[in-house]
């Protein structure tokens, strides 16, 4: 089997209102689709989000990297030699890549290659990767800042997830430590002590602020504090993890197994969180997960549940998966765009199941694809 073509499509769907975390305001959901065609008539589908379209970039640089730098590397090649293709894409872009947009582009292509491999084998990706379990516990991710910073609106949102059967929820902190303590206290009071509560600061603080905050909210039984300091502050992470009364999680802004090696070996975090659309695709995600397992460290995903459900199901050191309910603006468009796998649209009793169809089980709604397309290549 040979790769005959690699095609990209950029989509953008604006939100009805702007939402925010401690790091950024988010105006809409943008998506890059990557499709790899073969001479056997099979097509692999990959995608990534967060391209920059929402910030005014009509043709994202990631799209250009896929089309101009990666496409020539894979055309005519055997798509089943995924590890070799990854090495060639990474090695061929070292002079201008290694992190950021280039690794995100490689991730999109790699995801499509794994989808293609599953379709060729007639097996779901989670089984190809080891098939540890087909059932995955999920936590509802939300609790963003709204314009009014309304505590009642926040607690109502989080309560709705608990009523749907979620046994763990995550909310945002990071804008104002004093106010955030009140937010955490209000949510904990609302959901009770039996629900796991996770909090995410989105790189907001320095070491001292993060440590004070961790001590202030310790009494609310926090499952973990996520990204409390900047992703490049390795020393801050090391010291904070050693002193914090709450487990520290991070990794969504880290790239490749080499970046995660530093986090893991230095005990800079208690939990690693690779993002398959940033770390280097499925190939690198699984290497990070297995490396973390050797250190008895949990490895969970960041967002992108449509792909991560297959990876979490294939690993033994993933106690939960981040899951955005379809009512959450970040997820609404994706839940409508990807009409399959239907099994992860609505959790049951706080769990979802991995798709059993060949590959990643993704199928795109053609009407929405056409409606929200920004640029085709």
Cα separation of 95 and 77, whole Å? 23
For the residues 12-40, what does the mean pLDDT come to? 90
Q: Which of 284, 314, 362, 310 is nearest to 34 (CA)?
A: 362
pLDDT tops 90 at residue 251: yes
Q: What is the DSSP string of 110-143?
A: HHHHHHHHHHHHTSBHHHHTT---SEEEEEEE--
16 pLDDT higher than 80? yes
**Mean of pLDDT over the chain:** 93
pLDDT value at 244 more than 80: yes
pLDDT exceeds cutoff 70 at 376: no
Q: How far is CA 282 from the centre of its chain?
A: 12
Q: What is the pLDDT of residues 87-102, one digit of tens each?
A: 999 999 999 888 999 9
pLDDT of residue 39: 98
What is the pLDDT at residue 371? 95
User: What pLDDT sits at residue 330?
Assistant: 87
Q: What is the pLDDT of residues 267-306, one digit of tens each?
A: 999 999 999 999 999 999 999 999 999 999 999 999 999 9
Considering only CA atoms, which of 280, 275, 330, 263 is closest in space to residue 302? 275
pLDDT at 377: 46
pTM for this model (two decimals):
0.95
CB atoms within 10 A of CB 43: 17
Per 3-state DSSP, the chain is made up of helix, strand and coil in percentages (nearest 5) of 40, 25, 35
User: Of 45, 56, 39, 57, whose CA–CA distance to 9 is shortest?
Assistant: 45
pLDDT digits (tens, 9 = 90+) for 117-166: 999 999 999 999 999 999 999 999 999 987 676 899 999 999 999 999 99
Give the confidence band of 54 by pLDDT, cuts at 50, 70, 90.
low
């Amino acid at each position: 089997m040979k790769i005959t073509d690699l095609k990209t499509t950029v989509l953008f769907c604006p939100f009805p209102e702007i939402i925010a975390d401690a790091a950024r305001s988010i105006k809409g959901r943008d998506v890059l689709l990557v499709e790899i065609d073969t001479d056997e008539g099979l097509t692999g589908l990959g995608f990534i989000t967060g391209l920059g379209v929402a910030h005014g970039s009509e043709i994202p640089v990631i799209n250009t990297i896929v089309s101009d730098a990666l496409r020539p590397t894979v055309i005519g090649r055997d798509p089943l030699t995924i590890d070799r293709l990854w090495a060639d894409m990474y090695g061929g872009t070292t002079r201008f890549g290694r992190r950021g947009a280039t690794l995100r582009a490689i991730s999109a292509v790699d995801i499509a290659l794994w989808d293609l491999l599953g379709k060729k084998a007639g097996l779901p990706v989670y089984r190809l990767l080891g098939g540890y379990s087909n059932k995955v516990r999920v936590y509802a991710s939300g609790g963003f800042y709204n314009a009014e910073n309304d505590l009642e609106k926040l607690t109502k949102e989080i309560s709705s997830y608990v009523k749907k059967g979620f046994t763990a929820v995550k909310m945002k902190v990071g804008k104002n430590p004093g106010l955030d303590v009140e937010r955490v206290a209000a949510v904990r009071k609302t959901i009770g002590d039996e629900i796991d509560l996770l909090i995410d600061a989105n790189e907001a603080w320095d070491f001292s602020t993060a440590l004070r905050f961790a001590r202030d909210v310790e009494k609310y039984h926090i499952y973990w504090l996520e990204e409390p300091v900047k992703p490049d502050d390795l020393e801050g992470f090391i010291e904070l993890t050693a002193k914090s009364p709450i487990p520290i999680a991070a990794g969504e802004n880290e790239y490749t197994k080499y970046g995660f090696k530093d986090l893991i070996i230095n005990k800079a975090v208690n939990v690693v969180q690779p993002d398959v659309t940033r770390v280097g695709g499925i190939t690198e995600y699984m290497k990070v997960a297995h490396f973390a397992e050797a250190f008895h460290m949990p490895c969970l995903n960041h967002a992108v549940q449509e792909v991560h459900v297959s990876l979490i199901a294939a690993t033994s050191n993933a106690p939960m998966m981040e899951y955005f309910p379809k009512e959450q603006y970040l997820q609404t468009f994706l839940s409508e765009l990807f009409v399959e796998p239907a099994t992860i649209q609505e959790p049951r009793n706080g769990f979802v199941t991995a798709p059993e169809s060949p590959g990643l089980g993704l199928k795109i709604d053609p009407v929405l694809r056409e409606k929200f397309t920004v640029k085709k290549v």
